[in-house]
Amino acid sequence: MTEEVIIAGFGGQGVLSLGKILAYSAIMQGQEVSWMPSYGPEMRGGTANVTVILSDEKINSPILNEFDTVIILNQPSMVKFEKEVKPGGILIFDPNGIHNPPTRTDIKIYTIEGVKEATKLKNTKTFNMIIMGAYLKVKPILELDNVHKGLEKSLPTRHHHLIPKNIEAIQIGMEKVKPYEVSQAHLLN
Amino acid sequence: MEEVHLMKGNEALAEATIRTGVDAYFGYPITPQSEVLEYLMNEQPHLRTGMAVLQAESELAAINMVYGAAACGKKAITSSSGPGISLKAEAISYIAGAELPCLIVNVVRGGAGLGTIQPSQSDYFQAVKGGGHGDYKLIVLAPASVQEMADFVDLGFKLAFKYRTPAFILSDGVIGQMMEKVILPPQQERLTDAQVDELYGDWATLGKKKNKPRNVITSLALKPEIQEEHNHHLQRKYAEITKNETRFEKINCDDANYLIVAYGASARISQKAITLAKEKGLKVGILRPITLWPFPTEAIQEMAKQVKGILAVEMSAGQMVEDVRLAVNGKVPVEHYGRFGGMIHSPTEVCNAVFEKLVNC
């Protein structure tokens, strides 16, 4: 099994940390991983993305131009990455702030109201874990147990008391993710 | 059991310097290598091994601190990216001329000038052909994984001390910034002053002893007869290094009809590209130079007898390709492909280039 995924959004949304937790969780189940960030002036407000590859085999290129799964969290990333989903692959997006929703019909598309759900939880920092939940529901490639261990590994000890909140957010993401039909575009916002 | 870590290439290299028993790191921040200094500052290695870490006032200061530490037989390292390495070039030439061991790391970004902070491989000429003045060579190692970023610290120092010459790690923004699994090297003790004296007392400047003449470290010999003899000595040493230390990896070369020569990030990207080529029925192998100097000339000559064409893939306008052409000496076509200026070629682009430049031409 090899899963090639890119997570793309704004800096500050927790895009890189989400990728890191994915990578750590995969290591916990004995897989090979690669994590390649866009780096540079992309701090809060700019665009940020991370390519994560999880595999049972040794990983060759950390740089990819098409993905099994593309997770899109802002409009600029939709423009850039919708076309990079492999035919038959998966696109997951948060409709918040998306004014040109995806149009491809040769891929499976899902929505997750990550911003709304995080606001409901009164904790916007859980946003990326809600997205993680949506992803794991659609692509159940990681055992929740290993995600727990992955969180323990990637968060500093002083933040370990927050792990249950993160797991709760993952479960909300799993519940709230919905399939999306391209013809529903007019229903968004 | 060995503990598996998930680290950036820069972090793995930084942790490896502590574990390799390095005495001192002197550096100055620049993207995309800043994590080296950041990690070392945060880790406070003076509490672990007594290793000194200093953010110097400039790259010039940092490399001259390395020069001084190396003259005393200490294991000293510095790291930077292209613009900083250019500033260090004068001292690197002095260190090579004075025959001192040290390790210099370049995590390459796009140039020329201040360029961009995105990955590139356009400092090949600078690392391999000089950069500084005079007839000197650096042993240039090109890591293609986070694991090699860690492993090449020890290898670099071993070679540097074995031949009393500076070693150089030519990495790039991809390998420096990416995270993957790494098994860190075991902790080595730093050498004591007595051990340094025993091992390097015949050349290191450790203070004049009663029964021995003073050790002098210099790159200056004004009399041309002496300077010529010194240069002959350096060239004999470089010939010895070429004979003993050329390193490379062959991937899927056994029945290949075409060959890619690529190092660092481009070697990783090319591995995906050759699986795409295989799906289209084309057998392409990769020869990955691990040492860029000494260059695996003979291995490439051998492959030229087997394949119909060779593509040098590098994130530059075409630098290493010149050494590939010299090795092949016209026997088969040698072409170059690469995005540059901070752009990274994709596996598909590399695969297409094999077809366009070698197969359908």
Candidates A53, A60, A67, partner chain B, best to mutate (most B CBs within 10 A): A60
Question: What 8-state DSSP symbol labels residue B30?
Answer: -
The residue range of the domain holding A11 is 2-187
A63 chain-B contacts, CB cut-off 8 A: 174, 265, 268-269, 344-347
The b/e string for B206-218 (b: 16+ C-beta within 10 A; e otherwise) is eeeeeeeeebebe
Locate the chain A residue with the closest alpha carbon to B109. A40
Candidates A32, A39, A54, A55, partner chain B, best to mutate (most B CBs within 10 A): A39
Helix axes A163-176, A127-138, angle to 10 degrees: 50
Q: So what's the pLDDT on residue A43?
A: 55
CA nearest to B157, candidates B23, B29, B10? B23
Nearest by CB: B6 against A24, A64, A66: A24
A59 chain-B contacts, CB cut-off 8 A: 180
Q: Which tokens sit at B179? A: 């995270």
Q: What 3-state class would DSSP assign to A8? A: strand
Q: So what's the pLDDT on residue A47?
A: 84
Model confidence pLDDT, tens digit, residues A93-106: 999 999 999 999 99
Model confidence pLDDT, tens digit, residues B70-118: 999 999 999 999 999 999 999 999 999 999 999 999 999 999 999 999 9
Q: Which backbone phi and psi does A181 adopt, to 5 degrees?
A: -100, 135
Helix axes B9-19, B34-43, angle to 10 degrees: 50
CA nearest to A94, candidates A21, A9, A184? A9
Determine the length of chain B. 361
Do A129 and A144 meet the contact criterion of CB atoms below 8 Å apart?
A: no
Q: How many CA atoms lie within 13 A of B294 on its CB side?
A: 18
Model confidence pLDDT, tens digit, residues B192-249: 999 999 999 999 999 999 999 999 999 999 999 999 999 999 999 999 999 999 999 9
Asked if B143 reaches chain A (Cβ–Cβ under 8 Å), the answer is no
Locate the chain A residue with the closest alpha carbon to B116. A40
Q: So what's the pLDDT on residue A40?
A: 64
B117 chain-A contacts, CB cut-off 8 A: 39-41
Is the bond preceding B32 in cis, omega lying within 30 degrees of 0?
Answer: yes
Q: So what's the pLDDT on residue A11?
A: 86
Do B309 and B233 meet the contact criterion of CB atoms below 8 Å apart?
A: no
Domains annotated for chain B, with CATH where assigned, are 4-183 (3.40.50.970), 248-359 (3.40.50.920)
Alpha-carbon distance A52 to nearest alpha carbon in chain B (angstroms): 9
Do A59 and B117 make contact, defined as CB atoms within 8 angstroms? no
What does each of the 361 residues of chain B score in pLDDT, given as a tens digit?
Answer: 467 899 999 999 999 999 999 999 999 999 999 999 999 999 999 999 999 999 999 999 999 999 999 999 999 999 999 999 999 999 999 999 999 999 999 999 999 999 999 999 999 999 999 899 999 999 999 999 999 999 999 999 999 999 999 999 999 999 999 999 999 999 999 999 999 999 999 999 999 999 999 999 999 999 999 999 999 999 999 999 999 999 999 999 999 999 999 999 999 999 999 999 999 999 999 999 999 999 999 999 999 999 999 999 999 999 999 999 999 999 999 999 999 999 999 999 999 999 999 999 8
Q: What 3-state class would DSSP assign to B139? A: strand
Q: In total, how many domains does chain A have?
A: 1
Do A60 and B179 make contact, defined as CB atoms within 8 angstroms? no
Model confidence pLDDT, tens digit, residues B197-210: 999 999 999 999 99
Type of residue found at B149 = M
Q: Which backbone phi and psi does B208 adopt, to 5 degrees?
A: -70, 135
Helix (H) or strand (E) holding A136: helix A127-138
CA nearest to A62, candidates B21, B119, B213? B119
Type of residue found at B210 = K
State the complex-level ipTM.
0.93
Q: So what's the pLDDT on residue B125?
A: 98
Contacts of B351 (CB under 8 A, 6+ apart): B273, B274, B276, B277, B280
Nearest by CB: B118 against A33, A40, A64: A40
| CATH code for position A22 | 3.40.920.10
pLDDT, mean over chain B: 97
Q: Which residue has the tokens 């020890």?
A: B154
Question: What distance in Å separates the CA atoms of residue A127 and residue A119, rounded to the nearest whole number?
Answer: 8
* pLDDT band, very low/low/confident/very high, at A187 (cuts 50, 70, 90): confident
